[in-house]
């Protein structure tokens, strides 16, 4: 198990940066629902150490119950945090990569404190964005503030999907959160796609083509 540290943040603090934001997303891969990004800023090393000692790490490596616990811990101890949410309709219009970047930009812009440096999970920096930034592959596993952002993004998105499960019952959104599990695919073929399915994603596109072809038979 990889434990994230805050050496990146430490180096940036020593260079004179004051407000360092960790940025990550949740929901690039699902077939339904929005993509959500989070940005989070911590005040100093005491907070980093306090939270790191609790075992905070990449959201994908911890249970839903623990993510909820860490979510409260992180939000209560952060200097500032925010989330950016991009709908499945916009994802279909501009593609998932651009939608992810837009979610990140919205999350950063929603911060009350303007960060002076961004640590971003992945390989893509935010184009035409004025803040100094660094994209780091697998930063959600290795960079503490990005791990914290991954938890905020994941919990925020999971809560959205729990509500969408009530609006669109029968698909199992509360269980699979929109990912292409067997349950999800079985219900898709039984019920057909609903409003929140990403029509540009391969499995949904294929299913819509098949349904249209069957209507013409």
Domain boundaries defined on the chain: 7-168
Digit-coded pLDDT (tens) for 13-69: 999 999 999 999 999 999 999 999 999 999 887 888 888 888 888 999 999 999 999
d(CA 205, CA 208) in angstroms, rounded, equals: 5
User: Per this entry, what is the length of the chain?
Assistant: 217
Mean per-residue pLDDT, 141-159:
97
Query: Is 0.75 topped by the overall pTM?
Result: yes
Query: What dotted CATH number matches 7-168?
Result: 3.30.420.10
């Amino acid at each position: 198990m990889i434990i994230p540290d805050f050496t990146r943040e430490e180096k940036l603090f020593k260079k004179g940066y004051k407000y360092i934001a960790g940025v990550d997303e949740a929901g690039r891969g699902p077939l339904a629902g929005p993509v959500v990004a989070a940005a989070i800023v911590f005040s100093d090393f005491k907070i980093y150490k306090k939270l790191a000692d609790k075992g905070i790490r990449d959201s994908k490596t911890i249970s839903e119950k623990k993510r909820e616990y860490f979510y409260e811990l992180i939000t209560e101890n952060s200097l500032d945090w925010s989330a950016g949410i991009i709908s499945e309709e916009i994802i279909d219009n501009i593609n998932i990569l651009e939608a992810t970047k837009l979610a990140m930009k919205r999350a950063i812009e929603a911060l009350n404190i303007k960060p002076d440096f961004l640590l971003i999970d992945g390989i893509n920096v935010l184009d035409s964005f004025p803040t100094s930034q660094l994209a780091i592959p697998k930063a959600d596993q290795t960079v503490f503030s990005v791990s914290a952002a991954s938890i905020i993004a994941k919990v925020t998105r999971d809560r959205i999907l729990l509500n969408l499960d009530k609006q669109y019952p029968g698909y199992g959104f509360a269980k699979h959160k929109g990912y292409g599990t067997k349950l999800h695919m079985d219900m898709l073929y039984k019920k057909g796609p609903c409003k929140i399915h990403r029509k540009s994603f391969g499995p949904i596109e294929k299913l819509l083509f098949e349904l249209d072809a069957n209507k013409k038979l």
